[in-house]
Amino acid sequence: MSFFVKAVVDALKTVSATQCRGSRHEHRLPQLLRHRRAIATERGLVVPVMRNAERLSFAELEQAIGDFARRAKDGKLKPDELEGGTFTITNGGVFGSLLSTPIINRRRTGILGLHTIQSGPWPLQGQVVIRPMMYVALTYDHRLVDGREAVLFLRRVKEVIETPARMLVEI
């Protein structure tokens, strides 16, 4: 998950229109302040806010995700840990989802849905080869983000994920 969090942080910084909150008339965040990641529990889905995600290393992100998951399953998240997010990542792929359309929470810019990785056909140098593939779905509030920015955001996430060595150096 930390690679996707880093990719989303990078894309949010690159395509600044994707990190606003509320309506176009409200302030735009000067930097990525809050990031949400959905966690499934026996009682349902909870979405704690990972604050200052842009400042965390991969190890710190993994530690924070693990801590949130443990405390969410034990019912020990604090109310303030569920408030104030601007963008969400949900990973239905861990349950085998091939593709879905996640719905954004009120006053959020968007949600990125991650799906299962499976082998599939891919064109490469005039041939069709089998490669691991993963679908991602971006749902965004069109009142806040134009389609152009949404596509630029998705393209940036793809670029960052496909070049993980560069991610380690640049982010």
The residues assigned a catalytic role are 142, 146
Give the chain's count of helices (H) and strands (E).
Answer: 4, 7
Query: Angle at which helices 2-14 and 58-73 pack, to 10 degrees?
Result: 110
Q: Is 6 exposed, middle or buried (0-12, 13-18, 19+ CB in 10 A)?
A: buried
What SS3 string covers 18-43?
A: HHECCCCCCCECCCCCEEEECEEECC
* The token pair that represents 142 in the structure block: 């069109």
Cβ neighbours for 71, distance < 8 A, ≥ 6 positions apart: 77
